[in-house]
């Protein structure tokens, strides 16, 4: 995959070339477990191709896939796509009934599941499809088509007959996808009535893969990637998995919950070349790695002394670099709003980070700049093959809805013409639902979601995300949500329970903390966006797989 676009704009042919070229190099690993070389990966893909053919799967049929990040999730995904089927990746965190609903809604012919997922969905109704197959052993655990069990019984023998001397690089011949062909359907929610299947064409995947190579040209078969994000979600799927497969890099699936301790151990061992993450993970590391270092009295003092402060920041930066493996070019952050205080600190220490902007409907990238071009609180500039505009009479001063056009944009929502029509303007611009402004140099700044914007008493636009950024920087706060209640702004706060337990606060003292919180917050906000009350909530807010709070659950 060169820095210029290949003559054939085919994702599958990029993969075919990569697998041949990198046959003996490691491709996929479960952290602390099994590793597959590119040759072994290609062989397993060929086995599944034969299984699909014998089972009657045709080009364009849907194949659903649901499990935690792991090797055999990746094998199945690549096999379905390179066969010419449409892959339907489903987040394993969805409820069993939601998974069954999405399988049915997507018209999938087969469902491939990890063992743990199957244990949860065992009693759901999957009668609308041909079969349910469980990996890693690819056992047919439910067959609704009479010949499927027989196909599975004889497939090993048939594979040996077809490749009597073993599967070789020259045997690879993948489906030639066209830019307009449907590659996958990605669901933004699992809940019936809310679920929208985003139809991603191959041109969108191809454009994102070319973009990744343009901004990370140093990555190749020697590179390592630690896959932390859900591979079923576009951000992790493209930039922690597909791109690496297209260049021959080695992907290590974390396979465990990303606690700070596990993350630090994995970073230290794998030493990734680039780190792709959502804000929550970096903010966790900040609280566990950076904050203790700068909380020492001597460091707090020295950070206010000119020249000396750069020495202290350098020491903190070295500590963070080491915690992240010490081998990365940059940290790419996206998927949700980034804590402004954490970002400011990273900027002060000249840490190589950058914040991008994207969404599922753009597979996913919209704006980005490399870390050396990052501008504080911005999410970069429009990427190649994408056009971005602000629906505002003055995009440099008045926030408006961000609208996009280009190769990355999806074709519509599966079996939902009404939602598709509402998502696009008459002249083909996709309405992102996000509010933002440009600066004079074309950098984009996101204010918040159009749906969450609150109209102030005098007509001011209030973006709750900006207020929450202030609240979340207070040391006793874990996370917050600002809502409107009868014309007033209320801050729902999930406190740092550990800190409160250590301080053994009584109910009266907690109420006092709330009043102190409100005063601290309002001192940093303009009058029209000040909060009227703070309410503590007993547990973390319910979140999407991208770790964004599900706002609609808390509206009054």
Tokens representing residue 377 in the block: 């609180």
Per-residue pLDDT for 5 more than 70?
no
Task: Name the pLDDT band for 458 (thresholds 50, 70, 90).
Answer: low
Distance CA 466, CA 407 (A): 31
Phi, psi of 271, rounded to the nearest 5 degrees? 50, 65
Full domain range(s) for residue 219: 11-251
pLDDT at position 512 is 76
Q: How many domains does the chain have?
A: 2
On whether residue 368 sits in a domain, the answer given is no
Strands 488-495 and 477-485: antiparallel
On whether residue 493 sits in a domain, the answer given is yes
Task: Name the pLDDT band for 83 (thresholds 50, 70, 90).
Answer: very high
State what percent of residues in the chain have pLDDT above 90: 62
CATH number assigned to the domain comprising residue 157: 3.40.50.12780
Report yes or no: 197 and 106 within 8 Å, Cβ to Cβ: yes
Distance CA 471, CA 89 (A): 35
On whether residue 118 sits in a domain, the answer given is yes
SS3 396: coil
On whether residue 501 sits in a domain, the answer given is yes
Domain stops at, among 251, 271, 305: 251
- Which residue did the predictor score with more confidence, 341 or 132? 132
Rounded to the nearest 5 degrees, what angle is found at the Cα of 7, between the Cα atoms of 3 and 12?
Answer: 90
Distance CA 118, CA 115 (A): 5
Domain stops at, among 204, 230, 251: 251
On whether residue 92 sits in a domain, the answer given is yes
Tokens representing residue 437 in the block: 């402004």
CATH number assigned to the domain comprising residue 532: 3.30.300.30
Query: pLDDT tens-digit profile of 16-55?
Result: 999 999 999 999 999 999 999 999 999 999 999 999 999 9
145-180 b/e with 16+ CB inside 10 Å = b? eeebeebbeebeeebeeeeeeebeeeebebbebebe
Report yes or no: 483 and 554 within 8 Å, Cβ to Cβ: yes
Q: Can you tell me which residue has the tokens 């940093």?
A: 524
Distance CA 466, CA 535 (A): 18
Mean pLDDT of 477-501: 83
The candidate with the shortest Cα–Cα distance to 408, out of 362, 375, 461, 359, is: 362
Distance CA 132, CA 128 (A): 11
- Which residue did the predictor score with more confidence, 3 or 334? 334
Mean pLDDT of 92-102: 89
Mean pLDDT of 254-258: 86
Report yes or no: 179 and 202 within 8 Å, Cβ to Cβ: yes
301-332 b/e with 16+ CB inside 10 Å = b? ebbeeeeebeebbeebbeebeebbbeebbbbb
State what percent of residues in the chain have pLDDT above 70: 90
Q: How far is CA 98 from the centre of its chain?
A: 20
Strands 353-355 and 331-333: parallel
Strands 477-485 and 224-227: unpaired
Per-residue pLDDT for 546 more than 80?
no
User: What one-character DSSP code corresponds to residue 195?
Assistant: -
Query: pLDDT tens-digit profile of 183-219?
Result: 999 997 655 556 789 999 999 999 999 999 999 999 9
Report yes or no: 18 and 246 within 8 Å, Cβ to Cβ: yes
User: What one-character DSSP code corresponds to residue 552?
Assistant: G
Sign of CA dihedral 414, 418, 423, 426: positive
The candidate with the shortest Cα–Cα distance to 323, out of 356, 357, 281, is: 281
Distance CA 90, CA 108 (A): 12
Helix 11-21 to helix 202-215 angle (10° resolution) is 50
pLDDT at position 472 is 82
Domain stops at, among 219, 251, 283: 251
Task: Name the pLDDT band for 296 (thresholds 50, 70, 90).
Answer: low
pLDDT at position 288 is 72
SS3 527: helix
On whether residue 176 sits in a domain, the answer given is yes
Global pTM value: 0.85
Per-residue pLDDT for 76 more than 90?
yes
Q: Can you tell me which residue has the tokens 């009404």?
A: 418
Q: Which range is least confidently modeled, 76-85, 160-169, 315-324, 538-547?
A: 538-547
Which residue pairs, CB below 8 angstroms and at least 24 apart, start in 519-524? 520/474, 521/467, 521/470, 521/471, 521/474, 521/491, 524/470
On whether residue 381 sits in a domain, the answer given is no
Distance CA 463, CA 473 (A): 17
Strand partners, 143: 131
Report yes or no: 203 and 406 within 8 Å, Cβ to Cβ: no
The candidate with the shortest Cα–Cα distance to 107, out of 414, 460, 423, 425, is: 414
Distance CA 340, CA 196 (A): 31
On whether residue 119 sits in a domain, the answer given is yes
pLDDT at position 3 is 46
What does the mean pLDDT of the chain come to? 89
Report yes or no: 60 and 85 within 8 Å, Cβ to Cβ: yes
């Amino acid at each position: 995959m060169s820095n210029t676009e290949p003559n054939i704009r085919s994702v599958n042919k990029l993969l075919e070339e990569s697998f041949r070229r990198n046959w003996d190099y490691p491709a996929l690993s479960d952290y602390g477990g099994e590793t597959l070389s590119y040759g072994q990966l290609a062989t397993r893909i060929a086995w599944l191709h034969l299984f699909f053919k014998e089972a009657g799967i045709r080009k364009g049929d849907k194949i659903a896939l649901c499990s935690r990040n792991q090797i055999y999730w990746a094998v199945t995904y690549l096999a379905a796509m390179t066969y010419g089927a449409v892959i339907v990746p489903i987040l394993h965190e969805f409820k069993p009934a939601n998974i069954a609903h999405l399988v049915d809604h997507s018209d999938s012919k087969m469902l491939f599941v990890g063992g743990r997922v199957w244990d949860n969905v065992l009693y759901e109704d999957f009668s609308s499809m041909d079969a349910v197959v469980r990996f890693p052993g690819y056992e047919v655990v439910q067959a609704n088509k009479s010949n499927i069990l027989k196909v599975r019984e004889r497939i090993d023998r048939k594979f040996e007959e077809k490749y009597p001397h073993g599967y070789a690089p020259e045997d690879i011949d993948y489906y030639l996808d066209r830019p307009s062909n449907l590659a996958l359907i990605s669901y933004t929610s699992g809940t019936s009535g809310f679920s929208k299947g985003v139809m991603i064409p191959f041109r969108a995947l191809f454009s994102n893969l070319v973009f990744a190579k343009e901004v990370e040209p140093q990555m190749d078969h020697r590179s390592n990637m630690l896959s932390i994000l859900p591979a079923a979600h576009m951000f992790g799927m493209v930039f922690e998995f597909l791109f690496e497969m297209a260049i021959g890099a080695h992907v290590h699936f974390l396979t465990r919950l990303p606690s700070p301790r596990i993350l630090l151990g994995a970073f230290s061992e794998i030493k990734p070349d680039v780190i792709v993450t959502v804000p929550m993970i970096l903010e966790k590391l900040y609280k566990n790695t950076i904050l203790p270092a700068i909380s020492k009295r001597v460091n707090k003092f020295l950070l206010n002394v000119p020249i000396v402060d750069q020495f202290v920041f350098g020491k903190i930066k070295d500590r963070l670099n080491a915690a992240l493996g010490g081998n990365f070019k940059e940290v790419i952050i996206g998927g949700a709003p980034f804590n402004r205080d954490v970002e400011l600190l990273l900027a002060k220490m000249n840490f190589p980070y950058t914040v991008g902007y994207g969404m599922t409907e753009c597979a996913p990238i919209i704006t980005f700049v490399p870390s050396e071009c990052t501008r504080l609180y911005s999410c970069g500039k429009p990427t190649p093959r994408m056009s971005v505009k602000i629906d505002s009479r003055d995009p440099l001063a008045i926030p408006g809805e961000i609208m996009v056009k280009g190769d990355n944009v999806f074709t519509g929502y599966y079996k939902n013409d009404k939602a598709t029509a509402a998502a696009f303007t008459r002249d083909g611009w996709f309405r992102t639902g996000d509010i933002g402004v440009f600066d004079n140099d074309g950098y984009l700044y996101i204010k918040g979601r159009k749906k969450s914007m609150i109209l102030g008493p005098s007509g001011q636009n209030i973006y709750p995300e900006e207020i929450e950024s202030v609240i979340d920087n207070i040391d006793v706060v874990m996370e917050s949500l600002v809502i409107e209640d009868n014309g007033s702004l209320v801050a729902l706060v999930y406190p740092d329970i550990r800190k409160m337990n250590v301080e053994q606060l009584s109910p009266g003292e907690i109420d006092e903390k709330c009043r102190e919180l409100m005063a601290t917050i309002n001192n940093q906000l303009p009058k029209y966006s000040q909060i009227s009350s703070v309410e503590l909530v007993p547990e973390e807010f319910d979140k999407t797989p991208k770790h964004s709070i599900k706002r609609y659950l808390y509206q009054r």
